[in-house]
Amino acid sequence: MQITLTKASLADAEIIHQMQLTAFKPLLEKYQDYDTNPGNEQLERTIERIKDPASDYYIIKADQVPVGAIRIVKKAKQRYRISPIFILPEHQGKGIAQRVLSMIEELYSDFQAWELDTMLQEPKNCHLYEKQGYQRTGFYEQINERLTIVSYEKRR
């Protein structure tokens, strides 16, 4: 399977938004975190992220088919944040996200640190990031009785 990243433009906002809603819908239903889950965001939020000069949005393609997206936010010199990254449910578990994380590190090879957040209650997500060298920072945020967000960081 060939994985590619295509830098997104405003013309891609709707497809990114639709994929985001689809990818996050199961988690939204499970955790009911309507204020924080990207599966409950409006198209305008995706447009704002694409327009943000401090971020780069990429469509993730597997064999030329859009299967997800990743947004990289330039926080400070050589420090980047991933927010969000998602793969459509029917393409999850195929190693795509793992390959994309490696590709992003090559694209942003000047990095000194990466940061991201994920759901503590989703062990597959935590395992993915830990396998890629991310470590928990010790910051946890209780969203509701079902969901806790955990922060990760990877340093060079």
Task: Place 76 in a pLDDT band, splitting at 50, 70 and 90.
Answer: confident
As assigned by CATH, the class of the 3-112 domain is alpha beta
The pLDDT tens digits for 131-147 are 999 999 999 999 999 99
Task: Place 79 in a pLDDT band, splitting at 50, 70 and 90.
Answer: very high
**Contact, 101 vs 132, CB < 8 A?**
yes
CA distance to 16, 31, 57, 81, 116, per residue, from 12 (Å):
6, 28, 10, 21, 23
Both tokens of residue 92? 């999850």
**Contact, 8 vs 69, CB < 8 A?**
yes
Task: Place 4 in a pLDDT band, splitting at 50, 70 and 90.
Answer: very high
Cβ neighbours of 33 (radius 10 Å): 19
As to burial, measured by CB atoms within 10 angstroms (0-12 exposed, 13-18 middle, 19+ buried), residue 104 is buried
- Residue ranges of domains in the chain: 3-112
